[in-house]
């Protein structure tokens, strides 16, 4: 709604009455009310006829915000943020049970739960130990059922334990140096 129409209606005037009072044509009043901004003589005449200031008749300028097109936002993969000391403790907590594969994932799992450190690297450490807890007995039992002798069973047991110790220590070294795991799975069990 134009300013002129608002003021005219506040003063209970019709377009014809305003045109007669101001000496302007009804068509001029209609154009101004439709959105044409009054200028010069027309503006002065309407302002004096309605007993208002000229600026009250002008359409208020609403500041428009300049639309700024930003450059495209590049989404970069963020480095994992984690407490490396706690992650190393979680990783090394599997060492005491490296010889007993069924329990080797319990200490890191409990530490993760109580410390609430649930970063992807911790989940990968625990997933790897769960995987080793599943695969080690399968390998051990396969060698035992093949009846290759007690020496081969003992070598398999020692080999699996040493492999797990090596994986734990190598991952601890990589966490310390590069902040990531050397040995990890392509999937996560937890």
Cα distance between residue 65 and residue 181, in whole Å: 50
Cα distance between residue 171 and residue 177, in whole Å: 10
C-alpha closest to that of 111 among 87, 143, 128 = 87
In this prediction, residue 76 carries a pLDDT of 55
186 within domain boundaries: no
Count of alpha carbons within 13 angstroms of residue 5, beta-carbon side: 11
Q: What is the dihedral of CA 66, 67, 71, 72, to 10 degrees?
A: 160
User: Is 100 in the same domain as 173?
Assistant: yes
- Domain stops at, among 39, 57, 75: 57
121 within domain boundaries: yes
Low-confidence ranges of the chain (pLDDT < 70): 1, 59-82
In this prediction, residue 75 carries a pLDDT of 55
Q: What is the CATH number of the domain that holds 7?
A: 1.10.260.40
In this prediction, residue 67 carries a pLDDT of 56
Cα distance between residue 18 and residue 45, in whole Å: 11
67 within domain boundaries: no
Cα distance between residue 95 and residue 54, in whole Å: 87
In this prediction, residue 35 carries a pLDDT of 80
Range(s) of the domain holding residue 41: 3-57
């Amino acid at each position: 709604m134009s300013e002129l129409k608002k003021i005219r209606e506040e003063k209970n005037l019709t377009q014809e009455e305003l045109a007669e009072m101001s000496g302007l044509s009804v068509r001029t009043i209609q154009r101004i009310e439709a959105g044409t901004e009054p200028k010069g003589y027309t503006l002065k005449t309407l302002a004096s006829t309605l007993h208002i200031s000229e600026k009250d008749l002008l359409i208020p300028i609403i500041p428009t915000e300049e639309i700024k097109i930003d450059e495209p936002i590049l989404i970069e993969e963020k480095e994992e943020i984690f407490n490396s000391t706690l992650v190393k403790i979680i990783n090394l907590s599997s060492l005491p049970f490296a010889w007993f594969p069924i329990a080797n994932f319990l200490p890191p799992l409990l530490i993760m739960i109580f410390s609430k450190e649930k970063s992807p690297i911790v989940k990968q450490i625990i997933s790897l130990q769960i995987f080793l807890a599943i695969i080690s007995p399968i390998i051990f039992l396969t060698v035992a059922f093949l009846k290759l002798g007690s020496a081969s069973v003992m070598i398999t047991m020692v080999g699996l334990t040493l492999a797990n110790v090596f994986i734990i220590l190598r991952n601890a070294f990589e966490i310390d140096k590069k902040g990531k795991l050397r040995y990890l799975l392509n999937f996560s069990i937890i």
